[in-house]
């Protein structure tokens, strides 16, 4: 029947003990949870223990970090951005182990305003010198140290897997609260506007990074002065090379190599603790990803031919309305990758509106031999949603 984990916020265990929650989840058919132990800011309407608006702090560690795991020179979590003890996570670990229930650490790596505001020089910096304070740059050595320390600290806690989210670059939008871009932007402009030219990214490039930075700033001038010249033009590497020059292709390759190196380092750390790695893949959420999202991964600095060799499990967020679309994406991932695949479905709005649809989506994935399916997000599910999940995964 496969393995089925629920993505879960710590709030579930702040209000109910794991000794109550985990047996209930097992009764539904879940085999484990992906517990958010490091997460970004959000406002969520949660339902599990009654309706509640919860405000999650950005870059927060839902445990007490052990700074001994962080190498010299690495930035480290601030005490104000962490729980004062390990009572919650240790309680969940104890019950999970006793019940034979899988506990995975779910961590958001580069999307972190808490650290970005504390260390602005280590954030993604565009061709104009604008800093994206919500996005740490994986090229910076101090950030590489943070990635290593966070990974070791989590893997040292007897977890089964580390679910890696946001270990890559990001786009220009959806980084902050109430963002204001009162300009019509093409996908090409949005991409170039958020392309990082921090000192570390430039240093990792074998070509003339400063010249490329100036070139990108130059081609964006029509957008800044009048209107976007690329509205309706597809964001492709070929179009970028035509607009900016072939040097940008080597620049993009360099950052893909950098991101892959970060994954190698996490993978080596995880393996040393007997922990597996899961790549929470957001490619299906990239604009224009359609039924072949892996073709768009380069936009965030992911070269799947490299990452596929490193991680144990690809875990794409297959957020689509129809079972046919879910099946197409499942087929795409199965045909393109050698790694194990776990799909992520949302049984709730806006992806799902009926039990029949959810059952059909699970069946569509199984048709492509994807039997491990996780569900997002436990804390926001109605009892009805859990009933649908139970029938879908036990059918």
Could you tell me which of 108, 112, 114, 136 has the C-alpha nearest to residue 123?
136
Q: Measured between alpha carbons, how far is residue 28 from residues 55, 94, 234 in Å?
A: 28, 20, 44
Q: How far apart are CA 88 and CA 17, in angstroms?
A: 9
Cβ pair 25, 4 in contact under 8 A: no
For residues 295, 299, 301 and 303, what is the CA-based torsion angle, rounded to 10 degrees?
A: 10
**pLDDT, tens digit, for every residue of 180-191?**
788 899 999 999
3-class SS letters over 109-126: CCECHHHHHHCHHHEEEC
Can you give the pTM of this predicted structure? 0.96
The pair phi, psi for residue 21, each rounded to 5°, is: -70, -50
What are the structural domains, with CATH classification, of the chain? 28-358+369-377 (3.20.20)
For residues 77, 109, 6 and 47, what is the CA-based torsion angle, rounded to 10 degrees?
A: 60
CB-hemisphere CA count at 13 Å for 298?
A: 15
Q: Which residues contact 83 (CB under 8 A, 6 or more apart)?
A: 61, 62, 63, 64
**For each of the chain's 395 residues, which pLDDT tens digit applies?**
799 999 999 999 998 999 999 999 999 999 999 999 999 988 899 888 789 899 889 999 999 999 999 999 999 999 999 999 999 999 999 999 999 999 999 999 999 999 999 999 999 999 999 999 999 999 999 999 999 999 999 999 999 999 999 999 998 887 776 677 888 999 999 999 999 999 999 999 999 999 999 999 999 999 999 999 999 999 999 999 999 999 999 999 999 999 999 999 999 999 999 999 999 999 999 988 999 999 999 999 999 999 999 999 999 999 999 999 999 999 999 999 999 999 999 999 999 999 999 999 999 999 999 999 999 999 999 999 999 999 999 98
**pLDDT, tens digit, for every residue of 92-128?**
999 999 999 999 999 999 999 999 999 999 999 999 9
Q: Give me the helices (H) in the chain, please.
A: 11-15, 18-28, 87-99, 113-118, 141-155, 187-194, 199-204, 209-219, 221-225, 237-244, 247-272, 304-310, 323-336, 355-367, 383-394
């Amino acid at each position: 029947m496969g393995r089925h984990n629920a993505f879960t916020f710590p709030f579930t265990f702040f209000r109910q003990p794991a000794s109550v929650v985990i047996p209930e989840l097992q009764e539904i058919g879940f085999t484990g949870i992906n517990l958010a132990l490091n997460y970004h800011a959000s406002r969520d309407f949660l339902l599990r223990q009654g309706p509640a608006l919860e405000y999650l702090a950005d870059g927060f560690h839902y445990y007490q970090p052990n700074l001994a795991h962080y190498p010299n020179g690495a930035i480290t979590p601030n005490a104000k951005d962490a729980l004062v003890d390990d009572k919650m996570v240790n309680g969940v670990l104890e019950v999970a182990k006793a019940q034979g229930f899988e506990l995975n650490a779910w961590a958001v790596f580069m999307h972190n305003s808490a650290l970005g505001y504390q260390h602005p020089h280590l954030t993604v910096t565009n061709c104009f010198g604008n800093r994206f304070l919500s996005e740490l740059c994986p090229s910076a050595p101090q950030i590489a140290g943070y990635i290593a320390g966070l990974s070791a600290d989590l893997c040292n806690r007897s977890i089964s897997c580390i679910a890696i989210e946001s270990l890559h670059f990001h786009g220009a939008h959806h980084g902050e609260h109430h963002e204001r871009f009162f300009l019509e932007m093409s996908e090409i402009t949005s991409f170039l506007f958020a392309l990082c030219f921090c000192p570390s990214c430039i240093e990792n490039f074998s070509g003339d990074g400063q010249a490329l930075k100036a070139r990108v700033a130059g081609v964006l001038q029509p957008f800044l002065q009048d209107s976007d010249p690329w509205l309706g033009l597809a964001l492709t590497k070929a179009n970028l090379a035509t607009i900016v020059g072939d040097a940008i292709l080597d620049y993009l390759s360099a950052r893909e190599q950098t991101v892959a190196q970060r994954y190698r380092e996490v993978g080596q750390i995880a393996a040393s603790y007997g922990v597996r790695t899961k790549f929470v893949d957001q490619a299906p959420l990239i604009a224009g990803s359609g039924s072949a999202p892996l073709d768009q991964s380069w936009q965030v600095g992911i070269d799947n031919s490299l990452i596929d060799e490193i991680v144990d499990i690809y875990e794409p967020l297959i957020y689509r309305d129809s079972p046919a679309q879910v099946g197409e994406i499942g087929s795409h991932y199965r045909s393109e990758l050698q790694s194990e695949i776990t799909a992520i479905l949302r049984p709730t709005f806006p992806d799902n509106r009926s039990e029949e649809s959810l059952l059909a989506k699970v069946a569509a994935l199984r048709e492509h031999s994807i039997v491990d399916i996780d569900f997002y997000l436990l804390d926001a599910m109605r009892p009805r949603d859990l009933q649908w999940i139970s029938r879908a995964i036990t059918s």
